[in-house]
Amino acid sequence: GESVGLHLPTLSVQEGDNSIINCAYSNSASDYFIWYKQESGKGPQFIIDIRSNMDKRQGQRVTVLLNKTVKHLSLQIAATQPGDSAVYFCAENAGNLANAGGTSYGKLTFGQGTILTVHP
Amino acid sequence: IAGITQAPTSQILAAGRRMTLRCTQDMRHNAMYWYRQDLGLGLRLIHYSNTAGTTGKGEVPDGYSVSRANTDDFPLTLASAVPSQTSVYFCASSDRVGAEAFFGQGTRLTVV
């Protein structure tokens, strides 16, 4: 799972295996969660999201599970490929950004990231 | 489809100099954000803008300022750069409450 500190959690898997990346979030009021993938030298890229009224959501080769009781989020990648190697971040919508006279938007708070390495 | 464009891609800047990082989006998103990314600290919000003409402070706003004169542009200015502002800066945008943010490719800034 993700943690604070200088050393990011790492996960190494063989090509074709399933990968599970974990994230513990902090704010029990968060109602929206996103997983991002970041390849070296690039910006974070949206993978999948889930709202707090759901506990599971599936995409193409990816599944996100949400356990609100223990404030835990996981990303499952099926049949992991070398192209999946990247840093994966979870993000939570930790509340609205109040703005005088304007519309409030959710602020995303990011976890520290997990490095996924897929070996051929 | 460009999405979000940041400039420059990278920059080496002398301490004490002023620098503006540029960000332009063509998705007509209302909200825009500036994050900095440092190893072990993840992405931290610097400033945000809910809509054109409005801005707000994020988690680490000190030493930075922003403006939002129109929907498309959201420049980030370092008035007097310091070495601790060495980082990778990402601009992002989203179109509605609770929506995912789309990120630019980042600007790698080194302050020496």
Per run of 10 residues, the mean pLDDT along chain A (length 120 residues) is: 58 96 89 93 93 94 96 96 96 61 59 92
Cα B89–B90–B91 angle (5° rounding)? 130
Strands (E), A7-85: 10-14, 19-24, 32-38, 45-51, 56-58, 62-67, 72-77
Residues 6+ apart with CB under 8 A from B75: B20, B21, B22, B23, B66, B67
Q: What is the pLDDT of residues B71-99, one digit of tens each?
A: 999 999 999 999 999 999 999 999 875 57
Upstream peptide bond of B83 is cis (omega within 30 degrees of 0): no
Helix (H, G, I), strand (E, B) or coil at B58: coil
Closest-CA residue of B relative to A52 is B98
Interface of B with A (CB under 8 A): 4, 30-31, 33, 35, 39-45, 48, 50-51, 54, 56, 58, 90, 92, 94, 96-106
Shortest CA gap B15–chain A (Å): 24
| CA–CA gap between residue A89 and residue A84 (Å, rounded) | 13
What local confidence, expressed as pLDDT, does residue A94 receive?
Answer: 66
Supply φ then ψ for residue A95, to 5 degrees: 130, 170
DSSP codes of every residue in A84-100: G-EEEEEEEEEEEE--T
Instruction: Select the residue from A108, A110, A114 to test the B interface by mutation, using most B Cβ atoms within 10 A.
Output: A108
Cα dihedral sign, B97-B99-B100-B106: negative
| Contacts with B45 from chain A: Cβ below 8 Å | 107-109
Supply φ then ψ for residue A84, to 5 degrees: -85, -10
Neighbours of B83 (CB within 10 A): 10
Of A10-19, A95-104, B10-19, B21-30, where does mean pLDDT reach its minimum? A95-104
Cα A48–B47–B101 angle (5° rounding)? 15
Per-residue pLDDT, averaged over B3-21, amounts to 97
For residue B62, pLDDT over 60 is answered with yes
Q: How many helices (H) and strands (E) does chain B have?
A: 0, 11
Is the CB of A29 inside 8 Å of chain B's CB atoms?
no
